């Protein structure tokens, strides 16, 4: 297999998109933003209902979702982002699935903290199989002189701009009295709710915490740009801080902590490898053989989404996973992007959209097309949203392309 195919030979640094847009104002350019995807891959697969040999386009993000799609035996998964750090993360995760000796080695490399043997695994099995761009990223040293690949010997889930911000926020809440450790001891949802009310909610309602949640620079640091802040406010008449508290309550109270790796990461708990159902789908043992077989079909693309789609043939894409990308775009940009999606979408193609707000981030004018139409099922969308264990988004929409007769 030609491992250099993971990155194109020629790349162009283009306008911000995806995870580069994720952090406004204070975000460092071309640094790792997130080490995992904050979207439930189980829900994605239910929503998309992918058929074998599907051609998929998605943002790269933390790569967890894209790798999970390999369980559907796709023809190709094009992961688009203009941030080379996120693409380097995607590549090393995919190469780990292919080149590490077995499932246990993959689990130790990608899921377990404090694994010094991961440095040997990187040198023996992965470094020579990385593209030049990805190898350069992981070999580069940080401010204290350690190569970036040392992240895999520590706790990968604690690395990244978003994760650093989350860790700081968790520390602050702990200083204000939050007892996240007690949630890990809960035996059922009733106990989780009681613990949340008694030991976490008071810290979230602390005046100092609420003051910080009203500061734009804090929200920027946590990953919200002005468009998303506006969408969150439009989702409810409550203050933004109250909306965030409601989302956090749902994350920590509506799903079993033991089965929810999103909640585990928020409260500072590492992946619970003894409980397979709590792991991200791409790390579960039952899908490992398929992921190992098809991981070479993941193709990182350093580009803007609209530019990438402009290079694709008509009716060539079966699924588009936009995550919350539309939250960041001006209506005119959304219209231009949707025109390309409409052109590239094969009959029956599906588009998955998430938003921090509760309203569809698509103006009606994008559906004014004489030749094709897009349909969605509001009840099904809400059903999927209710099952999404990430719980931090306010809405989820699935559109299917229908040819007009």
Burial class (CB in 10 A: 0-12, 13-18, 19+), 93: buried
Kindly report the backbone phi and psi dihedral angles of residue 30, in degrees, each rounded to the nearest multiple of 5, phi listed first: 60, 35
pLDDT digits (tens, 9 = 90+) for 168-189: 889 999 999 999 999 988 999 9
- The domain boundary residue, chosen from 275, 307, 334: 275
Of 125-129, 137-141, 278-282, 366-370, the one with minimum mean pLDDT is 366-370
Closest CA to 305 of 347, 350, 341, 330: 341
Residue 67 lies in a domain: yes
Does residue 289 share a domain with residue 254?
no
Here the CATH number for the domain that contains residue 298 is 3.40.50.150
pLDDT digits (tens, 9 = 90+) for 293-314: 999 999 999 999 999 999 999 9
pLDDT digits (tens, 9 = 90+) for 192-232: 999 999 999 999 999 998 888 888 778 777 777 777 777 66
Total number of domains constituting the chain? 2
| Chain centroid offset of residue 323 CA | 8
Residues whose CB falls within 8 Å of the CB of residue 323, separated by 6 or more in sequence, listed in order: 18, 39, 58, 59, 61, 352, 353, 354
Residue 248 lies in a domain: yes
Does residue 306 share a domain with residue 255?
no
Residue 199 lies in a domain: yes
Residue 138 lies in a domain: no
- The domain boundary residue, chosen from 275, 308, 326: 275
Tell me 107's DSSP state. Answer: H
User: Domain range for residue 230?
Assistant: 161-275
pLDDT digits (tens, 9 = 90+) for 269-293: 889 888 898 999 999 999 999 999 9
pLDDT exceeds 80 at position 341: yes
- The domain boundary residue, chosen from 220, 249, 275: 275
Does residue 308 share a domain with residue 251?
no
Does residue 247 share a domain with residue 294?
no
> Cα(284)–Cα(175) distance, rounded to whole angstroms?
35
| pLDDT-above-70 percentage for the chain | 88
Tell me 218's DSSP state. Answer: H
pLDDT at site 371: 62
pLDDT digits (tens, 9 = 90+) for 214-224: 887 787 777 77
Residue 115 lies in a domain: no
Does residue 295 share a domain with residue 352?
yes
> Cα(349)–Cα(337) distance, rounded to whole angstroms?
16
Residue owning tokens 């982002």? 81
| Chain centroid offset of residue 207 CA | 31
Does residue 283 share a domain with residue 267?
no
Does residue 346 share a domain with residue 330?
yes
pLDDT exceeds 90 at position 253: yes
Does residue 266 share a domain with residue 173?
yes
Does residue 325 share a domain with residue 231?
no
Residue 304 lies in a domain: yes
- Could you list the beta-strand ranges (E) of 285-379: 298-302, 317-323, 345-355, 372-375
Residue 305 lies in a domain: yes
Residue 123 lies in a domain: no
Does residue 221 share a domain with residue 168?
yes
> Is there a contact between 49 and 350 (Cβ–Cβ < 8 Å)?
yes
Name the pLDDT band for 21 (thresholds 50, 70, 90).
very low
Does residue 171 share a domain with residue 240?
yes
Does residue 352 share a domain with residue 248?
no
């Amino acid at each position: 297999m030609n491992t250099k195919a993971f990155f194109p030979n020629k790349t162009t640094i283009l306008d911000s998109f995806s995870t580069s847009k994720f952090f406004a104002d204070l975000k460092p350019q071309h640094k790792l933003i997130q080490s995992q995807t904050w979207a439930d891959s189980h829900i994605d697969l239910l929503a998309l209902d992918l058929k074998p040999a599907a051609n998929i386009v998605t943002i790269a993000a933390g790569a967890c979702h894209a790798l999970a799609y390999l369980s559907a035996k796709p023809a190709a998964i094009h992961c688009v982002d203009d941030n080379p750090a996120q693409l380097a993360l995607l590549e090393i995760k995919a190469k780990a699935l292919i080149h590490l000796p077995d499932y246990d080695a993959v689990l130790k490399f990608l899921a377990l903290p404090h694994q010094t043997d991961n440095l040997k695994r990187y040198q023996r099995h992965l470094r020579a199989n990385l593209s030049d761009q990805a190898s350069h990223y992981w070999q580069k040293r940080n401010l204290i002189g350690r190569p970036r690949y040392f992240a895999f010997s520590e706790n990968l889930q604690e690395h990244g701009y978003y994760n650093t911000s989350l860790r700081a926020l968790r520390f602050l809440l702990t200083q204000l009295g939050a007892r996240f450790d007690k949630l890990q001891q809960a035996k059922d949802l009733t106990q989780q709710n009681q613990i949340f009310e008694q030991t976490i909610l008071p810290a979230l309602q602390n005046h100092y915490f609420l003051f910080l949640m009203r500061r734009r620079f804090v929200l920027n640091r946590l990953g919200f740009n002005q468009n998303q802040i506006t969408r969150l406010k439009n989702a409810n008449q409550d203050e933004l801080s109250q909306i965030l508290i409601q989302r956090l309550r749902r994350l920590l109270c509506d799903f079993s902590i033991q089965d929810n790796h999103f909640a585990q990461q928020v409260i500072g708990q590492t992946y619970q490898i003894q409980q397979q159902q709590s792991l991200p789908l791409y790390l579960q043992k039952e899908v490992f053989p398929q992921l190992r077989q098809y991981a070479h079909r993941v193709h990182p693309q350093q580009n803007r989404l609209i530019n990438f789609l402009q290079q694709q043939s008509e009716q060539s894409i079966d699924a588009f996973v936009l995550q919350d990308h539309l939250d960041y775009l001006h209506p005119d940009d959304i219209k231009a992007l949707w025109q390309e999606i409409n052109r590239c979408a094969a009959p029956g193609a599906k588009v998955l959209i998430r938003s921090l707000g509760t309203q569809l981030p698509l103006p009606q004018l994008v559906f004014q097309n004489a030749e094709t139409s897009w349909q969605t099922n509001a009840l099904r969308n809400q059903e999927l949203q209710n099952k999404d264990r990430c719980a931090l988004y306010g809405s989820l929409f699935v559109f299917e392309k229908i040819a007009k007769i």
